[in-house]
């Protein structure tokens, strides 16, 4: 795919996990928000004549700050990490929508199910870090319906509501290093 102009300089950019975060949020019982992150992930953004973006997340690295819930998320009820150890994303289109904003459409695979999702990215800027490396910052957001990926486990709570919401808000805070 090609992009006519972006706020991202030409080159190959690798996500720096120690300065980045892959997070999500989902409603619990319709009244609270549970937030979580994945601790093990990687990603690359290539800007040139063609533009490509892709990334992977190790599903077993899910962390919601509750060990029992995390084990349930790793089970066959949710991510089924034994059979589907990775979540993967590959962009199919990246379009500038403003000087510092991008629309990213891509294929997300969870539990072996691939669906197209749309994300928005704000380019926060570039700079040289204290080791002389060029970095770029991106704030990426989107939503998905977990049922579209086979994540259908739920439980009815008192009052008739559901334990786990179906809408999942995604938030990636990315710092990437220029490789080339």
- Which domains are assigned to the chain? 11-178 (2.40.128.110)
Query: What are φ and ψ of residue 99, in 5° steps?
Result: -55, -35
Cα–Cα distance, 156 to 161 (Å, whole number): 6
91 pLDDT tier (thresholds 50, 70, 90): very high
Q: How confident is the model at residue 134 (pLDDT cuts 50, 70, 90)?
A: very high
Within 8 A by CB and 6+ apart from 131, the residues are: none
Q: What pLDDT band is residue 97 in, cutting at 50, 70 and 90?
A: very high
Contact 128, 134 (CB under 8 A): yes
User: 5: pLDDT confidence band, cut at 50, 70 and 90?
Assistant: very low
Determine what percent of the chain falls in helix, strand and coil, rounding each to the nearest 5: 10, 60, 30
- pLDDT at position 6 is 52
Q: What is the dihedral of CA 110, 43, 169, 19, to 10 degrees?
A: 140
């Amino acid at each position: 795919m090609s992009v006519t102009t972006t706020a991202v300089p030409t080159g190959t950019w690798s996500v720096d996990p120690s300065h980045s975060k892959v997070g999500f949020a989902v409603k619990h019982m319709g009244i609270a928000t549970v937030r979580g992150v994945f601790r093990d992930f990687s990603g690359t953004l290539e800007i040139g004549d063609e533009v490509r973006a892709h990334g992977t997340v190790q599903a077993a690295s899910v962390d919601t700050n509750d060990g029992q819930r995390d084990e349930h998320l790793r089970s066959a009820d949710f991510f089924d990490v034994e059979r589907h150890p990775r979540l993967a994303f590959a962009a199919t289109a990246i379009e500038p929508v403003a000087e510092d904003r991008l629309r990213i459409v891509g294929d997300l695979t969870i539990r072996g199910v691939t669906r197209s999702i749309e994300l928005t990215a704000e380019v926060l800027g570039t700079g040289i870090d204290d080791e002389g490396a060029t970095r770029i910052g991106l704030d990426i957001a989107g939503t998905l319906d977990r049922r579209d990926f086979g994540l259908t486990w739920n439980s009815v709570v008192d009052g008739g509501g559901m334990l786990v919401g179906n809408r999942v808000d995604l938030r990636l805070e990315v710092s990437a290093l220029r490789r080339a």
